[in-house]
Amino acid sequence: MTQDVRALARRMYAAFNARDHEAARDIFTADFRSHPLGTTGPDAVERSWRRFHETYPEARVVVEDMLVEDDRAAVRTSVHGVPGEHPPTMLEIFRVRDGRIAELWGLSALKRA
């Protein structure tokens, strides 16, 4: 399962970077819960990704570290293509169920525009 979780995490970040917003429907469960945003479902992810890319058209996420155990992954990323001297860091933890991301917790050093 560890490799499946790792591959799903990489797929999520690749979809975000490719602006493949519709991929959220295949990556997240129907009842997905984002704890930081207080939203549910892949449609909420798709809207969030679209807004982010509208605000920061050059944004891309680079995975710096990933730790995976059982059905969970902890990922440290840097966000490039956003204002600031240094790329901000994001820390995300997510839980996978049935091959999709079911739940996500996160912290970000990204300042809102």
Q: What is the pLDDT of residue 68?
A: 97
Whether the CB-CB separation of 101 and 30 falls below 8 Å is answered with no
Q: What is the pLDDT of residue 112?
A: 58
All domains in the chain, ordered by first residue: 2-108 (3.10.450.50)
pLDDT in tens, 44-53: 999 999 999 9
Residue 69, token pair as written in the block: 């155990």
Report if pTM > 0.95.
no
Mean pLDDT taken over the chain: 95
pLDDT in tens, 22-77: 999 999 999 999 999 999 999 999 999 999 999 999 999 999 999 999 999 999 99
Match 């990922």 to its residue by tokens: 75
What confidence category does residue 104 fall into, taking pLDDT thresholds of 50, 70 and 90?
A: very high
Q: Considering only CA atoms, which of 3, 60, 48, 4 is closest in space to residue 24?
A: 48
